[in-house]
Amino acid sequence: MYVTAPLPATRTQEIVPSKPNITHQRTMTIKPGKHLFLEGDPADRIYEVASGVLRLTRIMEDGRRQVIAFGYPGDTVGFPSDGLYHTDCDALMPTTLVAHRRKTLESGEGDTALHQRLLQAALREISAMQDHFMMLGRKSSIEKLASFLMALTDRVGDRLGDFDQVKLPMTRADIADFLGLTTETVSRTFTQLRKSQIIAIDHINTVIILKPLTLRCIAEGDDNI
């Protein structure tokens, strides 16, 4: 049903260590389309994204897909539960990661400061997911897309004169599966925002936010523009 087919599992063998000769290997690179881990894999590592973008997904047997999150630089992915990963994770572009032992999070042995950082990342993750709930459960398609664009712009947007600009490394299908919509609805909603002069679209994957305040109002559900 969903265009983006579950890819055949190509995993760790595809990960290219950046500094192959150091004993305590921690930094690595992953190529677009390659999986960092799959749902059900033993979760021995937790990863901090240094550059690039990751995609965390869950897939039902019949192919329905939910994008749980996109992992941007500064994000931490791969939190274990019962020692396993509970999502698939792959890269949307060449992505560099710093890997940490699961023990660093779970027992705190060794690097206390790192343990703290990973723990805080887990707590932020819980908070971010709560936002996402409201979006999935209670917002209209235009509110969903506006929320998504605002969140991404706040996080990784660029100032462009009077406007904001944000690059979208993911496909419309990814956005749809993140927001609980179809690609068609996402596309129509982009068009609607574009025709309302709230955004402009440059080469499909770059969005210019012409009216950030208006977009934020839409995201919050202020229907009186």
* In 32-91, beta strands by DSSP E: 35-37, 45-51, 54-59, 65-71, 76-77, 88-91
Span interacting with a second copy, options 17-25, 134-142, 160-168, 193-201, rule CB under 8 A: 134-142
Interface with DNA includes 203 (CB under 7 A)? yes
Interface with a second copy includes 116 (CB under 8 A)? yes
Entry field: residues in the chain: 225
Residues 6+ apart with CB under 8 A from 167: 156, 205, 206, 207
Q: Mask 143-182, x = binds DNA (CB under 7 A)?
A: ----------------------------xxx------xxx
Residues 42-61 that bind a second copy (CB under 8 A): 58, 60-61
For residue 8, the Cα-to-chain-centroid distance in whole angstroms is 21
Q: Look at residue 25 and give the partner it binds from DNA, a second copy, none, a contact being a CB closer than 5 to 8 Å depending on partner kind.
A: none
Beta strands 158-160; 88-91: pairing state: unpaired
Instruction: Write out the two tokens for 190.
Output: 């982009």
Instruction: Name the phi and psi angles at 30, rounded to 5.
Output: -130, 135
Number of residues that bind DNA (CB under 7 A): 24
Q: Mask 135-174, x = binds a second copy (CB under 8 A)?
A: -xxxx-----------------------------------
Span interacting with a second copy, options 23-31, 125-133, 155-163, 164-172, rule CB under 8 A: 125-133
Return the H-helix or E-strand segment holding 209: strand 206-209
Q: Look at residue 113 and give the partner it binds from DNA, a second copy, none, a contact being a CB closer than 5 to 8 Å depending on partner kind.
A: none
Among 3, 7, 9, 225, binds DNA (CB under 7 A): 3
d(CA 45, CA 24): 13
Among 66, 187, 196, 206, binds DNA (CB under 7 A): 187
DSSP assignment, residue 9?
-
Among 123, 160, 213, 225, binds a second copy (CB under 8 A): 123
Number of residues that bind a second copy (CB under 8 A): 43
* In 34-174, beta strands by DSSP E: 35-37, 45-51, 54-59, 65-71, 76-77, 88-91, 95-101, 158-160, 163-167
CB 141 within 8 A of CB 175: no
Chain contacts with a second copy (rule: CB under 8 A): 58, 60-62, 64-66, 68, 79-82, 86-87, 105-108, 115-116, 119-120, 122-127, 129-130, 132-134, 136-139, 177, 179-180, 220-222
| Site of interaction with DNA (CB under 7 A) | 1, 3-4, 140-142, 171-173, 180-188, 190-191, 201, 203-205
